[in-house]
Chains A and B, each alone.
Chain A
């Protein structure tokens, strides 16, 4: 059974203070690892897909990286508008579905 563990559960940063969120996974044949952003009262919004170890993707202040066991979401010089819950999910084998972690609640104070 696929498992996804995200840490920390919550992270509070000052504006401009860079940090990283972790997503550890156990799957049988990774076909894709996904990062989503979720704002309060809204549905998750797609950020990145990573397919193989060593791959990196960037979008504005966010950079996602992937190893064989975990993925990191690096946030460089965050702003208050980056405050949200960040979700990690995996797609494996012949499954039709994504398995999600419980998320990291990021708060960036001005």
Chain B
């Protein structure tokens, strides 16, 4: 089925470890986003991309890096994980700048715990 696929679904890291979250979409969307969702905070934008080879900072970019080498993939990296990065991470994509009639298509999320 067409959509956004995130891997892994769950991960436990020790403080200081690094990891990469992978997001893949098969809808040929130009725009891709990484959000984190925390209790009482809602969805907050980490980084986003407006096309292959581009990335930009969102509201809470510190401690994260991203890359979009291929149009269908958007990677989120944590170089040195901290307990404050314990969260649920969602990737999303959209086909137009104006988000269009269908808004974002979200992945099912990655639940990350940093101990």
For window 11-62 of A, CB contacts with B under 8 Å fall at 31-32, 34, 36, 41-46, 49
Interface check B74, CB cutoff 8 A: no
**C-alpha spacing A91/B31, complex, angstroms:** 14
Residues of B within 8 A of A103 (CB): 42
Mask for A79-110, Cβ within 8 A of B = 1, else 0? 00000000101010000111011110000000
| Contact indicator A89/B50 (Cβ below 8 Å) | no
The stretch among B11-19, B63-71, B76-84, B105-113 that forms the contact with chain A is B105-113
- Nearest B residue (CB) for A91: B99
Known: A31-B98, A34-B99. A96 touches B105 (CB 8 A): no
Known: A91-B98, A91-B99. A100 touches B43 (CB 8 A): yes
**C-alpha spacing A97/B105, complex, angstroms:** 13
| Contact indicator A43/B48 (Cβ below 8 Å) | no
Known: A31-B98, A97-B48, A97-B58. A43 touches B103 (CB 8 A): no
**C-alpha spacing A101/B106, complex, angstroms:** 16
- Nearest A residue (CB) for B56: A96
The one of A42, A46, A89 in contact with B105, judged by C-beta atoms closer than 8 angstroms, is A46
| Contact indicator A32/B99 (Cβ below 8 Å) | yes
Known: A96-B31, A97-B33, A98-B99. A45 touches B106 (CB 8 A): yes
**C-alpha spacing A82/B35, complex, angstroms:** 25
11 A-B residue pairings within 8 Å (CB atoms): A34-B103, A43-B4, A43-B90, A44-B104, A49-B103, A91-B98, A96-B50, A96-B97, A97-B45, A97-B58, A102-B40
Task: Contacts A41-B109, A44-B90 known; list 14 others, CB within 8 Å.
Answer: A31-B99, A43-B107, A44-B104, A44-B106, A46-B104, A91-B98, A96-B31, A96-B56, A97-B45, A98-B104, A101-B42, A102-B40, A102-B41, A103-B42
